[in-house]
Copies of this chain bind each other. A is one copy, B any other.
Amino acid sequence: MLKQVQQSLMNILESLQWRYACKKFDNTQIIPDDKINILKEAFNLTATSFGLQPIKMILIKNKKLQAELTTHSFNQQQVATASHLLVICIDKDTSPQDIDDNFDREKKIRGTSEEVIASFRKFLKDTYANKSLEEKQQSAIYQAYIVLGNLMTVCALEKIDSCPMEGFNPDKYDEILDLESKNLKSVLLLPIGYRADDDFMSKLKKVRKPLSETIIEL
């Protein structure tokens, strides 16, 4: 119990300092289910534009599949050695039905009346009707990056290593994971697990600009 308390007292900045882009995981260590459940919930609690959640997460725990995907990830071994591979995806489209579903969910969960919702429903449907498919996908991609920022921090606080990745072949991922049939597109990867003792990256100091160069106070 004392150890748990001490661990929880490790502050946020120490966790963010501890985090790094893990390049090799210890493939004998598996993240326990209760921790994975935290990541699932944290993913789902991520804030998204207008609350529309145009994103989905594929959770892969399958070393054979991970090995196959590694070849479409510039052979980066963090994909193969991870305990789990998270593939952050966007919905290919945000339809009027998706927007209606969201308001119906709000009415059910909050008991909000249609009178209160009606004008915002109309505004949001009009806004999305004026967007091209490309614009809707671009907006969804932004939300995928919010997910990445949230999950990296949650992982660090839970002492789970991770590696944010833009570098992979999304078309191959979409094909192998059959994302076309699910109306999804893969956007980002986050392999997660526990750092291997011999990941040389884990021993290196963090490189950052000084605060004086990155923050302007007005």
A interface residues, Cβ below 8 angstroms from B: 5, 8-9, 11-13, 16-17, 19, 21, 38, 40-47, 49, 51, 53, 55-62, 65, 102, 105-106, 109-110, 141-143, 145-154, 157-158, 164, 166, 177, 182, 204-209, 211, 214-218
Contacts and interface: CB of A to CB of B under 8 A. Distances in A.
Given A9-B8, A16-B45, A43-B214, A209 B149 contact: no
A192 to B, nearest CB: 14
Contacts of A207: 51, 102, 105-106, 109-110
Contact of A8 (B8, B43, B53, B106): B8
A43 B215 contact: yes
Given A142-B145, A149-B147, A152-B150, A211 B44 contact: yes
